[in-house]
């Protein structure tokens, strides 16, 4: 029997009670992860299951767990760990529905933020299945209010998210405390190195079940990419939001820090947005999610793993603020829109050094992503105007309380303004159109001649001032002694040769310059031109103002004008150079 031929749950050898519950829940056909996962878990093997969000992983382990509970015992026989309180509640409820016709099965959700005394009282009455968050489960273990001597099955649900939230140590100590002969099951939407290392340590000859690339081709998602300079990404994003009238969307980015930055940027521009990532406390998470679900917030910015556990539907679109490092993440991201037969938009903002990743994704998904044209400032003003006129007309037709404000025009006319001036100024204010800060021509990067073949051309050729090509400075000998390659720009910013100290501290910095530390070095194959290109491009400062660059094996020092240091830190931190993530800081 191959899994493709499984058309109903009855082929999986489940008990009548479960089948009845499934019928009542409206589950007619097992999903692929269920068709493969249920038999594997039922036969008692350790299992690693990988499938995208929303593919029914809960029932894939929930059903076999229920099938193996011995009602005549009062002991905890299965423990399910979930990353968040919402998920713990969702999972325990889903298992509860599956158990509807199995009399006497007791399931308890155990999570932080809920009264521990109440939890202790229900645990005392006897519970068969505990669904909990790692922190609170540890808490109960320490208080000895939870005993695991009879546990036969241990499930790690949404393992990648649990690790992202920093539960690794808790998970490991819980696993270490479980009876040796238990069965261990791990479900996750993605597999990472830390997950693999946990499975190696704690799983016994596991069966690996992987269901990916789910239904990507037959959903109705419009996939478009835009070639955007990194510093113009928020601008382009808001233009796309305006242009397409996106009222509920998820914005994805690769780092937690970026989430916070984007949210701040969007809020400053007047967009109702909030962020979600692994560092938020439970309470903050719930707040963010309920505001988004209620439509108070229209834009949710998230990292890949944080978005995993959240259950949102009816999104107008997904924006990839940056391109994910893993092709599967792309599939997960855009799969959040265009559900249930509705159409959705997936826009990807692609910086120059992300272009190759986009190509990899196209190769992987076998779907062509179209290149889009960034809406012009005029387009945006036009769209906003049309919506403004519409809302004013509605407001006039509704007509309430307007007599109270009718004399505003008169007052302004009295001050010497014409009706046109007044309306124009008010319209601009209300429409909230930003200044065309970047211009229209400065948003996209241009394909350079030979861009395809060469790895990063020489940006400095086009600079009018002759300096700019970076060469090894005269203090090369000294650089070698210290293990650094040192590059100093020709011309005004060449650093005077100075006394350098031995212990890798940066030498004294030229007046007006700030020395920055970068976490990339020779081992990352970066060249001075990569650094200059990245800093100049991202922070929008002229390349020729960047001073000396000292490249060591594992890190680099670079001098930038003091007044630009903040901007460089902001633009570069968590960003990439030649596709490699970089941390940047003021050198100590
Ligand atoms: P995951 O954990 O993979 O993200 P869930 O287990 O939360 O997915 O399931 C997502 C939704 O699909 C839930 O509402 C669940 O009730 C429903 N579901 C699960 N399996 C089936 C099925 N075989 N048929 C129909 N709906 C299902
Ligand atoms: Mg799940």
| Residues 53-72: tens digit of each pLDDT | 778 999 999 999 999 999 99
Closest ligand to Cα 27: 1
Q: Cα(472)–Cα(480) distance, rounded to whole angstroms?
A: 11
Query: Does residue 445 register a pLDDT over 50?
Result: yes
| Residues 490-515: tens digit of each pLDDT | 333 333 333 333 334 445 677 788 99
- Phi-psi sector, 264: left (phi>0), alpha (psi -120 to 50), beta: alpha
Average pLDDT over residues 350-375: 89
> Is the beta carbon of 555 within 6 A of some atom in ligand 1?
no
Q: Cα(337)–Cα(219) distance, rounded to whole angstroms?
A: 9
**How many A from CA of 112 to the centre of ligand 1?**
25
Average pLDDT over residues 158-177: 90
Helices 85-98 and 16-25, axial angle in degrees (round to 10): 120
> Is the beta carbon of 58 within 6 A of some atom in ligand 1?
yes
Bridge partners of 250? 300, 318
> Is the beta carbon of 188 within 6 A of some atom in ligand 1?
no
**What is the predicted pLDDT for the residue at 433?**
66
Under a CB-based contact definition with an 8 Å cutoff, are residues 182 and 152 in contact?
yes
User: Which residue is closest in CA terms to ligand 1's atom 18?
Assistant: 56
> Is the beta carbon of 321 within 6 A of some atom in ligand 1?
no
**What is the predicted pLDDT for the residue at 407?**
80
> Is the beta carbon of 568 within 6 A of some atom in ligand 1?
no
pLDDT band at residue 213, thresholds of 50, 70 and 90? low
> Mean of the per-residue pLDDT values for the chain?
82
| Residues 566-581: tens digit of each pLDDT | 889 988 887 888 888 8
**In this structure, what DSSP letter does residue 505 have?**
P
Bridge partners of 345? 222, 317
**How many A from CA of 59 to the centre of ligand 1?**
7
Q: Which of 156, 22, 32, 47 is nearest to 102 (CA)?
A: 22
| Residues 426-442: tens digit of each pLDDT | 887 777 666 776 777 78
Q: Supply the DSSP string of 356-393, one letter for each residue.
A: HHHHHHHHHHT-PPEE--PPPHHHHHHHHHHHHHHHHH
pLDDT band at residue 468, thresholds of 50, 70 and 90? very low
* 3-state secondary structure string across 388-417: HHHHHHHHHHHCCCHHHCCHHHHHHHHCCC
Helix (H) or strand (E) holding 464: none
| Residues 396-420: tens digit of each pLDDT | 777 766 677 778 888 888 888 888 8
Helices 233-243 and 256-268, axial angle in degrees (round to 10): 60
- Phi-psi sector, 483: left (phi>0), alpha (psi -120 to 50), beta: left
**What is the predicted pLDDT for the residue at 499?**
31
Helices (H) and strands (E) in the chain, counts: 21, 22
More confident of the two residues 289 and 219: 289
> Is the beta carbon of 59 within 6 A of some atom in ligand 1?
yes
| Residues 530-551: tens digit of each pLDDT | 888 888 888 888 888 888 888 8
Closest ligand to Cα 157: 2
Helix (H) or strand (E) holding 487: strand 485-489
**What is the predicted pLDDT for the residue at 207?**
95
Query: Does residue 20 register a pLDDT over 70?
Result: yes
**What is the predicted pLDDT for the residue at 503?**
38
Q: Which of 509, 468, 106, 86 is nearest to 285 (CA)?
A: 86
Under a CB-based contact definition with an 8 Å cutoff, are residues 374 and 444 in contact?
yes
Average pLDDT over residues 475-481: 34
**What is the predicted pLDDT for the residue at 485?**
53
Average pLDDT over residues 466-482: 33
> Is the beta carbon of 214 within 6 A of some atom in ligand 1?
no
Average pLDDT over residues 30-34: 91
Under a CB-based contact definition with an 8 Å cutoff, are residues 539 and 564 in contact?
yes
Residues lining ion ligand 2 (Cβ < 5 A) are 57
Give the CATH number of domain 486-586: 3.30.70.330
More confident of the two residues 281 and 488: 281
Average pLDDT over residues 352-372: 88
| 466-472: long-range pairs with CB below 8 Å, 24+ | 466/490, 466/491, 467/491, 467/492, 467/493, 467/544, 468/543, 468/544, 470/528, 470/529, 470/532, 470/549
Query: Does residue 171 register a pLDDT over 80?
Result: yes
Closest ligand to Cα 96: 1
**How many A from CA of 245 to the centre of ligand 1?**
30
Pocket test for ligand 1, best of 56, 62, 99, 158 (most atoms within 8 A of CB): 56
Ligand 1 atom with minimal separation from the 53 CA: 4
> Is the beta carbon of 53 within 6 A of some atom in ligand 1?
yes
Do 3-215 and 217-374 fold alike per CATH? yes
Average pLDDT over residues 212-235: 78
Q: Which of 266, 259, 274 is nearest to 237 (CA)?
A: 266
More confident of the two residues 482 and 560: 560
Give the CATH number of domain 3-215: 3.40.50.300
> Is the beta carbon of 506 within 6 A of some atom in ligand 1?
no
**What is the predicted pLDDT for the residue at 113?**
82
Domain boundaries, the chain: 3-215, 217-374, 378-431, 486-586
Ligand 1 atom with minimal separation from the 60 CA: 6
For domain 217-374, the CATH architecture is 3-Layer(aba) Sandwich (3.40)
Residue 15 CA: distances (Å) to CA of 197, 367, 414: 35, 42, 83
**How many A from CA of 531 to the centre of ligand 2?**
42
> Is the beta carbon of 187 within 6 A of some atom in ligand 1?
no
């Amino acid at each position: 029997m191959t899994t493709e031929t499984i058309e109903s749950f009855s082929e999986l050898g489940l008990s009548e009670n479960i089948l009845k519950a499934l019928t009542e829940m409206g589950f007619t056909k097992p999903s692929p992860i269920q068709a493969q996962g249920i038999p594997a878990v039922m036969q008692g093997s350790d299992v690693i299951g990988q499938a995208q969000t929303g593919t029914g992983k809960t029932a894939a382990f929930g059903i076999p767990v229920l099938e193996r509970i011995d009602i005549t015992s009062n002991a905890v026989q299965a423990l399910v760990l979930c990353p968040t309180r919402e998920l713990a509640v969702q999972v325990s409820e889903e298992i509860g529905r599956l158990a509807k016709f199995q009399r006497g099965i007791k399931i308890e959700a155990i999570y932080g933020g809920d009264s521990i005394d109440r939890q202790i009282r229900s645990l005392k009455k006897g519970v068969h299945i505990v669904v909990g968050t790692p922190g609170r489960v540890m808490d109960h273990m320490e208080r000895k209010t939870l005993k695991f001597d009879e546990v036969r099955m241990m499930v790690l649900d949404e393992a990648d998210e649990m690790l992202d939230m920093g539960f690794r140590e808790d998970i490991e100590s819980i696993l270490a405390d479980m009876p040796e002969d238990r069965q261990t099951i791990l479900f996750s939407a993605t597999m990472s190195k830390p997950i693999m290392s946990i499975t190696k340590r704690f799983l016994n000859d596991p069966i690996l079940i992987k269901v990916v690339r789910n239904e990507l081709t037959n959903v109705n998602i419009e996939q478009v990419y835009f070639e955007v300079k990194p510093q113009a990404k928020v601008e382009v994003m808001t233009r796309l939001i305006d242009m397409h009238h996106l009222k509920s969307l998820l914005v994805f980015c690769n780092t937690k820090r970026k989430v916070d930055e984007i949210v701040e940027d969007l809020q400053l521009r007047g967009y109702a947005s909030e962020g979600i990532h692994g560092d938020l406390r439970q309470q903050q998470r719930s707040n963010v999610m309920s505001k988004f679900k209620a439509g108070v917030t229209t834009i949710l910015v998230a990292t890949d793993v944080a978005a995993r556990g959240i259950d949102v539907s009816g999104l107008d679109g997904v924006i990839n603020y940056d391109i994910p490092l893993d092709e599967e993440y792309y599939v997960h991201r855009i799969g959040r829109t265009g559900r249930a037969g509705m159409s959705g938009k997936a826009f990807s903002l692609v910086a120059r050094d992300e272009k190759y990743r986009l190509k990899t994704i196209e190769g992987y998904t076998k779907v062509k992503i179209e290149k889009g044209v960034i809406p012009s400032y005029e387009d945006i003003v036009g769209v906003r105007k049309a919506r403004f006129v519409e809302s004013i007309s509605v407001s006039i037709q509704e007509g309430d309380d307007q007599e109270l404000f009718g004399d505003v025009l008169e007052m302004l006319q009295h001050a010497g303004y014409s009706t046109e001036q007044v309306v124009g100024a008010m319209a601009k204010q209300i429409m909230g159109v930003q200044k065309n800060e970047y211009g229209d021509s400065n948003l996209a990067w241009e394909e350079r001649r030979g861009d395809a073949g060469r790895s990063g051309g020489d940006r400095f050729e086009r600079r009018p001032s002759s300096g700019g090509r970076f060469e090894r400075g005269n203090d090369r000998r000294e650089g070698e002694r210290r293990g650094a390659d040192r590059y100093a720009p020709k011309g005004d910013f060449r650093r005077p040769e100075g006394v350098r100290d031995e212990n890798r501290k940066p030498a004294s910095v030229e007046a007006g310059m700030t020395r920055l530390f970068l976490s990339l070095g020779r081992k990352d194959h970066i060249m001075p031109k990569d650094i200059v290109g990245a800093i100049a491009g991202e922070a929008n400062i002229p390349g020729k103002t960047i001073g000396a660059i000292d490249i060591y094996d594992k890190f680099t020092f670079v001098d930038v004008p003091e007044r630009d240091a903040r901007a460089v830190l902001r633009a570069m931190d968590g960003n990439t150079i030649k596709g490699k993530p970089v941390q940047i800081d003021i050198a100590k």
